[in-house]
Amino acid sequence: MDPQPSLTDLPASPGLCATCIHLQLLASRRSTFVRCGLAASDPRFVRYPALPVVRCPGYTRDGTAPQST
């Protein structure tokens, strides 16, 4: 069984997605992808956004993400 995909597996910084509750990481044998969970229910959002995401109307901070000071 393959380990869970991680943000460190991405070739580019995901920007806001890294700390968003809607983040879904999907992995194939050779790649890891950022998928927006909002895309399933809201057509304003693309499934696989271009990285890094610097602005997003659906961004909601994940409560477990560390806050910058």
Q: How far is it between the farthest Cα atoms of the chain?
A: 38
| pLDDT value of residue 35 | 96
pLDDT per residue over 7-59, tens digit each?
A: 988 988 999 999 999 999 999 888 999 999 999 999 999 999 999 999 999 99
Distance of CA 58 to the CA centre of its chain: 12
15: left (phi over 0), alpha (psi -120 to 50) or beta: left
Per-domain residue ranges of the chain: 7-40
